[in-house]
Amino acid sequence: MQFDLIERYSAPVPRYTSYPTAPHFHAGISAQTYARWLGEVADDATISLYLHIPYCDRLCWFCGCHTKHTLRYEPIAHYLEALHAEIDWVADQLGGRGVVTAIHLGGGSPTMLTADDMAILKARLAARFTIAPHAEISIEIDPNDLGEDRFDAMAAFGLTRASVGVQDFDERVQRAINRLQSFEQTRHVIDSVRARGVHSVNVDVLYGLPYQTLDSIEATIAQVLSLAPDRTALFGYAHVPWMKKHQQMIPDEALPDIHARFAQSQLAAGLLNAGGLQSIGFDHFARPTDSLALAAAAGRLRRNFQGYTDDRADMLIGLGASAIGQLPQGYVQNITPTGDYQKSVLAGGGATTRGFALTPADRLHGFAIEALLCRFALRRDELRQFGAAGETLFDAAGIIAATDPDGLTRAGADCFSVTERGRPFVRAIAARFDTYLATGAARHSLAV
């Protein structure tokens, strides 16, 4: 790959887990707005729940999540009181409508919850929502400090998919990001959840970390493949120290440049493919029999705040501090500071602090961006549902292809698509359809 091509298309752009992206959310969307939107939910609507646990017993310096460090359980216990209150508030607005088809516990480290508190949380959800008998239940797992009681608690919660963060197994890299985690610890976690009937295991790997090399990437991927994951997410480390102050602990000079990042990503992707995992979008991989691969093959792949997903629920309800929800009417986001979040919900109100109400134009451009990221193609017949605006957008896509000097895209009478050469840069291509990008002041991570 030509160096100048990498440099031209590696400029920072959003990851597009929503459209418009979160920096464009505004305070005009309130708890009252959210309550009205929930009140409009159809009786038979399908719902995906995301519960955010914003605590860790150590702070990983690479992390970009909304979380805080604690060595005491008392703050977590107080937070759970507020989380239960928000569950009640949302359920009251729904009034019994809708069926939950998926539940995801993220963080932070949701595995910090005690076994008793995890059981109480599941009971609260079951009492306030109608949960489908075969709902997909996933939990993000920190392999450190997990006893057998936590594994049993996750199984009792109904865990069907475990997500395990690896990042890199090289000890020098781990020390540089404050994430010491041995291969043996990781293997024990995966063996333990599988012994309890979990049918799918996802492993997260990062490239672009301090002191990473092609050799360390190759060694880590070999160890990951030996764990036989059903899915793997390969993320580029987003170095945003202006947003996440703890990332200032990572020395800039230890980070690979854009050419090294690109080489690392391509090596890792090739090794994962050679290990039997199919490429899903631009940064996920799955075994051919996994539901994510099946969804991609059937054209049902979607993208939300967890990345690529086969979740087909009509809406995503976010619960907890900073959590984001996605409803047919638009997006809502909760208060981020945990103390303010707790005060708001314990006082009997919702936690919504901002959001975005979608316009017809937003739906059109969001559809186009998601189609490119999920299928690397945008078809004219798909855009007809948007009327004349869809035709206009497809014509604009044709102009993008006609004026593309690098062969990253092509267009015919019925389809605009990203070429094999262009797939590593699909985020930059999708950004051409973002009408908000030039108007925002947000700073984003590199596109490669």
Q: How confident is the model at residue 448 (pLDDT cuts 50, 70, 90)?
A: confident
Q: How confident is the model at residue 441 (pLDDT cuts 50, 70, 90)?
A: low
* Closest alpha carbon to 289 in 377, 166, 351, 199: 199
As a whole-number percent, the residues of the chain with pLDDT over 90 amount to 88
Burial 67-103 (b: 16+ CB within 10 A, else e): beebeeeebbeebbebbbbbbebbbebbeebbbbbbb
pLDDT on residue 431: 96
pTM for the whole structure: 0.95
Over the stretch 184-236, which tens digit does the pLDDT of each residue have?
999 999 999 999 999 999 999 999 999 999 999 999 999 999 999 999 999 99
CA distance 341 to 11: 35
Q: Which two tokens stand for residue 27?
A: 């305070």
CA distance 17 to 173: 28
> What are the chain's domains?
15-357 (3.80.30.20), 360-436 (1.10.10.920)
Which stretches of 196-246 are DSSP H helices? 214-226
Instruction: Give the single-character DSSP code of 407.
Output: S
Over the stretch 128-141, which tens digit does the pLDDT of each residue have?
999 999 999 999 99
**Please, how many CA atoms are within 13 Å of residue 289, restricted to the half-sphere of its CB?**
6
The residues near 395 (Cβ < 8 Å, ≥ 6 apart) are none
- The mean of the pLDDT values for the chain is 95
Torsion of CA 85, 341, 54, 195, to 10 degrees: 10
The residues near 298 (Cβ < 8 Å, ≥ 6 apart) are none
